[in-house]
Structure 1
Amino acid sequence: MGKFRLSGMAACALAACAALPAGPAAAEVAIGVFVPTTGVLAPLGNDMRNGFLLAAKGAIVKGEPVRLIVEDTGGNPANGLRKAQKLVLEDKVSLLLGGASSAVTLGINAQAPRLNVPIVTTNAQAVPITGEQCSRFMFRTVPHDGNTAKASAAMFAERPDMIGRKWFVVYHDYAYGLSNKAEFSHIPGIQIAGEAGRPVGTADWSSAIAQIQASDADGIYLALAVGDDLTAFVNQARGYGLDFPIMTPAGIPDTMLQALGKNGVGMIANGLTASWMQEDESPQIAELVKAYHEEYGIVPGYQAIQAYAGMQFVLAVLEAADEISTDAIIKALEDTVAETVVGPIDIRAEDHQGMQGTFVAEAVALDPPRHGASIGWKPVTRMSWDQINLLPEETGCKGF
């Protein structure tokens, strides 16, 4: 049977500014949101929370109001699991949504059969989430590190000035960083001049910068979780005179770009899924940018846009499900294609990986500023899903 297509707007009247307020209700559909709103990953988690809240304003599913219950994971796997248990056992949510951190997402997925609710991540990118640790409960709406590496390979194939460089890989020594640097090293023809792994929460990068200076590198690849650590590295690297290209697999939130200022100009992202700067050609993105700026006073970063689109998808899925039960929602997640601000979101039933393309993008200075932003991610080259696709057998998913 073919996929069931649903317009997010038609399904449940999405848009506007905030979720329904927390509190008991006679009848409602409860969605549990798990994101880091404190700690080093807070810039990423807060963008995601804002996107979820913006998409859920006034949402109605099967005639009942939708309520979001947001819990702060702090980017810590043990804390993330406790919050997931609380959302399921105490708050009785029908679905878990979020997953800023791959480590947190994998930790929750390990207990998925006990939690017995669907889990949807709109950000976590470690390949094992829908690869060797895939499960019937876990779904991902965005590309993973392997897809990003294929986008990088396609970009490098067209850019001899980039493939000829010797790249020094700086990575976070945990799930996302390890997965990402491994995928980067598999790009055909890539030259790795060295690598430096550091724990999440590293504020002083001088020792890693010394390693780069001692190598023959002329490019830096950052397999760092998106948070305060990444901006600290970029500022210190530029301060030490490292002026060669800096590449991040999926960019950084636009709030962080503004903080970097001129140090961020010229950074390259090879797996960007969306940018607010697409407002010029996309009425849907333009409408989102307007609403987001009115609500939060800033432009939406790509995690906020991914979260908004992910919530549109989830609301459409819940409306399409035969009933609000785990089995029915899982079936609808596999069978529904929903129109969102980033285009259709379609989940592959074999491994629950979202089939979405990416962009190669460059951080550019804006003169004059737009919506208060003086720098933004400008998409340069579109990579279709067919160009970045990895099959389940290539990622290690052996079925459910």
Structure 2
Amino acid sequence: MKRILAVMGTALSLCAGANASAADIKIGEINSYSGLPAFTEPYKKGWEMAVDEINAAGGIHGNKLVVISKDDGGKPGDAITAANELVSKDGVVMISGSFFSNIGLAVSSFAQQKKIFYLAGEPLTDAMTWSKGNDYTFRLRPSNYVQAAMLATEAAKLPAKRWATIAPNYEYGQSAVAVFKELLKKARPDVEFVAEQWPPQGKIDAGSVAQAIEAAKPDAILNVTFGADLVKLVREGTTRGLFKDRSVVSFLTGEPEYLDPLKGDTPTGWIVTGYPWDKVTIAEHKAFLDAYQKRYNDYPRLGSVVGYTLIKSAAAILTKANSTDTDALIAAAKGIAVDTPFGPITYRAADHQSTLGAFVGKTALVDGKGTMVDFKYESGADFLPSEADAAKMRP
């Protein structure tokens, strides 16, 4: 039976701390809060700010938006348990969030089985919207393919022919390396990949990894590690001279949540995707930045933008659908345009991937702190395959 906006049950929101009423619209949100606080803490601040803005502007057709948030602890099984509780006990009309790609795929499969709308925020594996895509799953962040295409374009300009790769040994790292290899070899048939290292996520033995890569004598290195693993790799690799006179191309490293912990150890000249929050001149970003700094007396991380844009996207879909029926939400999400701090995006109808882009530039050390320089914002729309081609990659 079609669920309309005025008949939602009661719940307690973990944002804003207010009691929900019968007319409230409840969204479930799941993320690895205890597993990756560097990203998820600012991410939570971003979505909480979005919720307050939406409700201050009248909510969803006059109904208050409530987010019920759960921690998956970085474990797919816990994410599914949380998703079950959100749907069966809390009565949410959609699920959102997730960070790790393996968790995102698990929640996506759950959404398909339970026929519940899922708006993924961070999981980057291409399988989310292509080989394992389904009618119920949409994704916000630019995928591995998009970021690899951006980075491969820059990598192809380097004189380097011998490449090595370092990536966490799970879905995200495997997917990122595979697509980067494919795209770089397409642009530069003369390159070869001479070594690869697959440390377990969160448990890198940086000394052994650096030693193995150095032994292969590559001209350049692709890095896909992030968080604490990145810090260990950079410090150990720098001590061993691994990065001396070698080009490094690195996914995500320009994001402040990963640059900040490096402090004075930030490497210079790495080609990265990231978020130079203090240098962005996009008009829509200024309003977001001002509001965020006023509210939190802190600067945003990329997680802040993801959390904020995720809930703004959910609200736009609910508003357009004017219903909480899953089929209505799916129809509304296909092709929908959403305003973001990086400018307008759309969620493509063919593969449910948004056109949100990324900043591509180089790392630099300024006043003892890591930052990005020589960057430009690249729209995801310019790097995604056509919708017709993407549709062929879906089951």
TM interval, shorter chain, is 0.7 to 0.9
Contact 1:170 1:196 in 2 (8 A): yes
Contact 1:250 1:269 in 2 (8 A): no
- Name the structure 2 match of 1:54: 49
Q: What secondary structure does 1:30 align onto?
A: strand
- Structure 1 gaps, min length 5: 1-17
Deviation at 1:177, TM superposition (A): 0.7
Return the alpha-carbon distance in structure 2 between the equivalents of residues 227 and 127 of structure 1: 21
- Name the structure 2 match of 1:119: 118
Q: What secondary structure does 1:340 align onto?
A: coil
Give aligned pairs, total: 371
Amino acid at match of 2:252: A
Does residue 1:31 correspond to 2:32, yes or no?
Answer: no
Does residue 1:20 correspond to 2:16, yes or no?
Answer: yes
Q: Which of 173, 178, 182 lines up with 1:182 in the alignment? A: 178
Superposed, 1:348-387 pairs within 5 Å as 348-367=348-367, 374-378=369-373, 380-387=375-382
**Structure 1 or 2: more strand by fraction:** 1
Does residue 1:85 correspond to 2:84, yes or no?
Answer: yes
- Name the structure 2 match of 1:13: none
Q: Which of 256, 259, 264 lines up with 2:258 in the alignment? A: 256
Return the alpha-carbon distance in structure 2 between the equivalents of residues 152 and 339 of structure 1: 25
Superposed, 1:109-188 pairs within 5 Å as 109-157=108-156, 159=157, 162-186=158-182, 187-188=184-185
- Name the structure 2 match of 1:197: 198
What fraction of aligned residue pairs are identical, expressed as a percent?
22
Deviations 1:297-350 (A, max 9, x none): 432122321222222222122111131221111111114212221111201111
Deviation at 1:270, TM superposition (A): 4.4
CA RMSD of aligned residues (A): 2.4
Return the alpha-carbon distance in structure 1 between the equivalents of residues 81 and 142 of structure 2: 27
- Name the structure 2 match of 1:213: 214
Deviations 1:127-154 (A, max 9, x none): 1000110101100122211112221232
Return the alpha-carbon distance in structure 1 between the equivalents of residues 205 and 296 of structure 2: 31
Structure-2 change in CA distance of 1:247 and 1:399 (3 Å) = closer
- Name the structure 1 match of 2:235: 235
Q: What secondary structure does 1:103 align onto?
A: helix
Return the alpha-carbon distance in structure 2 between the equivalents of residues 72 and 191 of structure 1: 41
Q: What secondary structure does 1:199 align onto?
A: coil
Deviation at 1:22, TM superposition (A): 4.9
- Name the structure 2 match of 1:390: 385
Contact 2:351 2:390 in 1 (8 A): no
Structure-2 change in CA distance of 1:242 and 1:296 (3 Å) = farther
- Structure 2 gaps, min length 5: 1-13
Contact 1:128 1:134 in 2 (8 A): yes
Question: What is the TM-score normalised by the length of structure 2?
Answer: 0.86
Return the alpha-carbon distance in structure 1 between the equivalents of residues 297 and 238 of structure 2: 29
Return the alpha-carbon distance in structure 1 between the equivalents of residues 359 and 334 of structure 2: 25
Return the alpha-carbon distance in structure 1 between the equivalents of residues 269 and 121 of structure 2: 23
Deviation at 1:295, TM superposition (A): 3.9
Structure-2 change in CA distance of 1:58 and 1:301 (3 Å) = closer
Deviations 1:63-108 (A, max 9, x none): 1111111111122111111111111111111111112111000011
Deviation at 1:284, TM superposition (A): 2.8
Structure-2 change in CA distance of 1:345 and 1:310 (3 Å) = farther
Deviation at 1:271, TM superposition (A): 4.0
Contact 1:277 1:376 in 2 (8 A): no
Return the alpha-carbon distance in structure 1 between the equivalents of residues 99 and 18 of structure 2: 22
Deviations 1:226-253 (A, max 9, x none): 3322222222212322234432223354
Contact 2:155 2:249 in 1 (8 A): no
Return the alpha-carbon distance in structure 1 between the equivalents of residues 301 and 312 of structure 2: 17
